[in-house]
Every structure is written in C-alpha cells, then in structure tokens.
C-alpha cells in the first residue's frame, strides 16, 4: 500500500486573515508550501503584495483580499468574496486587535474595537463559512488564540478575554460540526517576534531582553515560521480525529 501524504494540501484553498505580515504571513506561506491555493488578507488594499510575490515565486498561487474586520459585517463579506474566488476549505482566523491596557485604563472604544475584530468578525466568518464547509463535507478552521486565553496578563485584560471567548466559540462549533467533517481547533502562541511587539523591543531593548529571558522555559521569543508546522497539521487530513482542542506553542510556560 502506498503511504498517502496526509499533510498534502493540493486542491485545497485556504483563506488566512491578517496574512500581510507576522504569524499570518508565515502560515500562509507554509500552507502554500504544502500545496494549498492561498487567499491572502490584510486590513488595507495592497497590504499583502509582498507575501503574494513570495508565494508566487515559490511556485504556488495566491489571491488577495482586503477589508477592515472592525466594521460590522466585514467577516461575512470577506467569506463571500473569498468563496467567489474558490471554495474556502481552510479558514485561518489570525487577524486580531490588541490594545495593551489594564482594566482601569480600558476605554469603551478600546473595548468595542477589540470585541469587533476578535469576536464580532470571528462569529461573522464562522456563520458564513461553516455551513458551506459542511455542505462539502470537508473543512478545517484554525483559530489563532494566545497563551493569554489560559493565563491572562492584566496588561492585556480585554484582549485576553476575547481570546478565551474565541476559543469557546471554536469549541461549541467544533461540537456542532464534528459529524460533517468540519474540524475546528485553536493554535495558541506564546510570545512571537512580530510587529505587534516591536515597539516594546525598540523602546527598551535591555528591559525587553530581560523580560524575554525569563518569560518561558526556552528564554526566547518564538519566530513566526515556528507556528507553521502545527498550522499545516491542523489544516490537513493529518488532523482527522481532533476538534475543539488547543495546541500551545509557547517555548514552555
């Protein structure tokens, strides 16, 4: 018997939100490397051009869509526009808003913005994408969570709460869609070196180094490409009996 490559994504289309840079870009390039056609997404038109060029140069294919996910209905519209390009087999919910503020410093606008991007658009996308995947009897949702969904730091109070709620949504939908071969899981990174935390690193390089050295067992931040292996697994046929779960990639925490 020939051993099938259970990580092969040829013939699949993956929509990766927030794939203009950071973890989303690395995951998009990783899924493309495994054979998937990629639909890239950034907040503004043109944000994903460089990533698209790298994917095409590697011999894979990618389309681009843009849209601000804080706007009402933007998640649903994004799925509809992606489906007009190709059936979305794999949805990576990666774009997120993170405002560093303790509870006492949190403004109503900070709260509304993080709720809209992290929860509102997630619900919107799931409402639109899951029935379509179910009708096709194959689907994978990879929701990018955070170690803060389990062990929240007070400086990211609202962001952490949205990540916990996002995983809760993934679990309830995993239960509802399990028999349709539509499997939903969370990939939860610890600290990863991206634009998101670059300002903290640049403002106080020594303090940052000390923080990172003691943050996890490996004593370093992760790199975006270190998220790719788990993402390909969760997006593939290799992940055929796992749903509603979380993979933590934290360097030991």
Ligand X SMILES: NC(=O)c1ccc[n+]([C@@H]2O[C@H](COP(=O)([O-])OP(=O)(O)OC[C@H]3O[C@@H](n4cnc5c(N)ncnc54)[C@H](OP(=O)(O)O)[C@@H]3O)[C@@H](O)[C@H]2O)c1
Query: Which residue in the set 82, 117, 125, 170 belongs to the binding site for ligand X (CB under 6 A)?
Result: 117
192 binds ligand X (CB under 6 A): yes
202 binds ligand X (CB under 6 A): no
30 binds ligand X (CB under 6 A): no
Question: Quick one: which segment of 54-62, 88-96, 177-185, 237-245 binds ligand X (CB under 6 A)?
Answer: 88-96
Query: Which residue in the set 68, 176, 209, 210 belongs to the binding site for ligand X (CB under 6 A)?
Result: 68
Question: Quick one: which segment of 29-37, 52-60, 68-76, 207-215 binds ligand X (CB under 6 A)?
Answer: 68-76
CA 219 to the chain's CA centroid: 24
Query: Which residue in the set 14, 24, 231, 251 belongs to the binding site for ligand X (CB under 6 A)?
Result: 24
Q: Which of 144, 191, 163, 184 is nearest to 24 (CA)?
A: 144
120 binds ligand X (CB under 6 A): no
16 binds ligand X (CB under 6 A): no
Q: What's the chain's length in residues?
A: 253
Please say if 159 is a catalytic residue: yes
Q: Which of 58, 66, 60 is nearest to 19 (CA)?
A: 66
CA 138 – CA 186 distance, rounded (Å): 18
* Residues near 168 by beta carbon (within 8 Å), at least 6 away in sequence: none
Query: Which residue in the set 195, 202, 203, 206 belongs to the binding site for ligand X (CB under 6 A)?
Result: 195
Query: Which residue in the set 15, 16, 22, 39 belongs to the binding site for ligand X (CB under 6 A)?
Result: 22
Residues near ligand X (CB under 6 A): 18, 20-24, 42-44, 47, 68-70, 94-98, 117, 144, 146, 189, 191-192, 194-197
Which residues does the annotation mark as catalytic? 159
């Amino acid at each position: 018997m020939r051993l099938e490559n259970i990580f092969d994504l040829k013939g699949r289309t993956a929509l990766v939100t927030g794939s203009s840079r950071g973890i989303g870009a690395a995951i998009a390039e990783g899924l493309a490397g495994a054979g998937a056609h990629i639909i890239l997404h950034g907040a503004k038109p043109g944000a994903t051009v460089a990533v698209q060029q790298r994917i095409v140069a590697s011999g894979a294919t990618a389309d681009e869509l843009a849209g601000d996910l804080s706007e009402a209905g933007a998640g649903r519209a994004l799925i509809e526009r992606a489906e007009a390009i190709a059936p979305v087999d794999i949805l990576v919910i990666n774009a997120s808003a993170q405002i560093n503020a303790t509870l006492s410093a949190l403004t109503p606008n900070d709260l509304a913005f993080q709720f809209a991007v992290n929860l509102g658009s997630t619900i919107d996308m799931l409402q639109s994408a899951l029935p379509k995947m179910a009708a096709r009897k194959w689907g994978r949702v990879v929701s990018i969570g955070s170690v803060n969904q389990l062990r929240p730091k007070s400086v990211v109070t609202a962001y952490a709460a949205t990540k916990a709620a996002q995983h809760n949504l993934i679990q309830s939908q995993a239960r509802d869609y399990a028999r349709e071969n539509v499997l939903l899981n969370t990939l939860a990174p610890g600290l990863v070196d991206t634009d998101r935390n670059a300002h903290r690193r640049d403002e106080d390089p020594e303090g940052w180094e000390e923080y990172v050295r003691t943050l996890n067992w490996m004593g370093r931040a992760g790199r975006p490409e270190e998220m790719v292996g788990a993402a390909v697994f969760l997006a593939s046929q290799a992940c055929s009996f796992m749903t509603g779960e979380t993979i933590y990639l934290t360097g030991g925490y």
